[in-house]
Structure 1
């Protein structure tokens, strides 16, 4: 008599193997300088990978699922959301690379997930569970992530940039290493950021043109202006070195980080009302937020 539990386990095993097999044609290996990562074909000629795992210099090669290696170029990268977009440097690349459709869905807490990556061109997979699900959040670098999804799974450094599949086999995002945990960069964030990188080559960020240092005040916290870019927006508005920023658009600031988080892509060109303390007295300025220069 067949053991029902063995049958169920076999069915689960076959199901997991099936969803992995359907995803592997879109999985690639990315080699940049001395760094290796995984990635996936987002659109014909374009690969998405983890920015953190991508070297800052050197040539890039992309090994496809069929074993062929193509040169790649950086189309754009965003350090704040850990999304990098690579262009496959081959005229005929669109003919034999099938992009994978990523789903904007968010998995249920405790559900199974599979990370499909590549190790020197060979497909790799890891099975785990969704250990945390939350709403929109900001990374330590100020990037806006559309959903907080964490996985209980082991992830090698070279597997960053791999696809995360939910229990239905839908690709829901990209796996990256966060502080002491594996984080999923969700599909909504990838589509938004990669789309801008494809069009503009970079993600615009707001720029005040000042160096700031957090300071404690009797009634809260402030951001002291340590230096001023003479050609920047703050200098043009009249803000000086030694001023302490305490308010932003009629709200008290809660620290330097909260102030910098207000400088997202949509902030460029907008006008903000900034309140500073100068020699102990409040002074208000209207400041037009600039675009952070590339460095």
Structure 2
């Protein structure tokens, strides 16, 4: 009898790895949108927020073909994590908080109409924590060299040992992985309170170009908000935050993550051509 070669052994190992993960992988159907997800805890499904419709009914299709309605527990568009509740007793996966090594193999296990699907790729980048364009704090930047369909967003990314290290999502140029540490942190907060607290200054801003750079003009002020309490007025132009030159509205917004709530920031503004400083206590963004 011929001994199995390396490729045959690799193929068998991959098939076994996928088979172990598949029962916890689900399809998420929401208002003409299809995505994947996985059982994070009993009765709780994690999926990609970007792939989830903004409204309408949600249905979960399990690997055994059964379908059950689901409700939204909470969503965080800044980290692309959404948490759903569904009745069921499918065993949850155990996420690994160890990030994969650069160049190591990664398997994405997702679902299409309930049927498990798989993709094989390589870890193209394994780097430090980063902040998304929407201001979310992602604990590691993990990029995968693999193709991913829209319906496979929300699937699990596994390392060569079969350990799930994150959730696969479509980034601007590459497939990204939301790491397990971020999922555990964000999903835990969503389970507890249904939302992620975000910083709030209580102003509407418009970028403006100045002689020496960029600023943010205050277009409107929430009369009950933190900036109004500090003395900021409509028409003021914010030029610096905590003494550092402002490089645009987006940069200011990205700094208003969960950890910013309750902190004090010093805003330097131009008013009538004169610089003024105001200390603003960052509030919590209202749900609406």
Normalising by the smaller structure, the TM-score range is over 0.9
**Shift in Å at residue 233 of structure 1?**
1.5
**How far off its partner does 1:56 sit?**
1.1
User: Within 1, Cα distance between the matches of 2:180 and 2:246?
Assistant: 31
| 1:246 match | 239
After TM superposition, give the deviation of residue 254 of structure 1 in Å. 2.5
**C-alpha distance after superposition, 1:215-261 (max 9, x if no partner):** 23333332221222222211121111121112222322232222112
Moved more, 267-276 or 23-32: 267-276
The range that moved more, 249-258 or 120-129, is: 249-258
Q: Which residue matches 2:40? A: 42
Q: TM-score normalized by structure 2?
A: 0.96
Q: Give 3-state SS (helix, strand or coil) of 2:5's partner.
A: helix
Aligned to 1:87: 85
Query: 1:18: how far off?
Result: 1.0
In the alignment, which residue of structure 2 is the partner of 1:65? 63
| Matched residue, 1:283 | 276
Tell me by how many angstroms 1:150 deviates.
0.8
Taking the aligned partners of 2:177 and 2:188, their CA distance within structure 1 comes to 18
**TM-score w.r.t. structure 1 length?**
0.94
Structure 2: distance between partners of 1:134 and 1:200: 30
1: distance between equivalents of 2:11 and 2:272? 69
Report SS of the residue matched to 1:100: coil
Structure 2 counterparts to residues 211-222 of structure 1, below 5 A: 211-222=204-215
Deviation sequence 1:24-64 (CA, Å, 0-9, x none): 11101111111111000000110000001111111111112
Residue 109 of structure 1 deviates from its aligned partner by 1.2
What residue number does 1:227 align with?
220
CA contact (8 A) 2:108 2:118 kept: yes
Residues 133, 254 of structure 2: 8 Å contact kept: no
Are residue 197 (structure 1) and residue 190 (structure 2) matched? Answer: yes
| Worse overlay, 266-275 or 187-196 | 266-275
> 2: CA distance between counterparts of 1:149 and 1:97?
28
Q: Superposition pairs for residues 23-172 of structure 1, below 5 Å?
A: 23-88=21-86, 90=87, 93=88, 96-172=89-165
Is the partner of 1:76 in helix, strand or coil?
Answer: strand
CA distance in 2, matches of 1:266, 1:179: 26
User: What secondary structure sits across from 1:194 in the alignment?
Assistant: helix
1:266 and 2:259 are equivalent in the alignment: yes
Separation (CA, whole Å) in 2 of partners of 1:112 and 1:271: 45
Q: Secondary structure of 1:15's partner?
A: helix
SS of the residue corresponding to residue 99 of structure 1 reads coil
- Contact between 2:110 and 2:154, CA under 8 Å: does it hold in 1? yes
Question: Which ranges of structure 1 fall in alignment gaps of 5 or more residues?
Answer: none
Q: State the SS of the aligned residue for 1:176.
A: strand
How far apart are the structure 2 equivalents of 1:50 and 1:261?
20
Equivalent-residue separation in structure 1 for 2:287 and 2:163 (angstroms): 36
Alpha-carbon distance between aligned partners in 1 of 2:53 and 2:113, rounded to the nearest angstrom: 16
* Superposition CA RMSD, Å: 1.5
List alignment gaps of at least 5 residues for structure 2. Answer: none
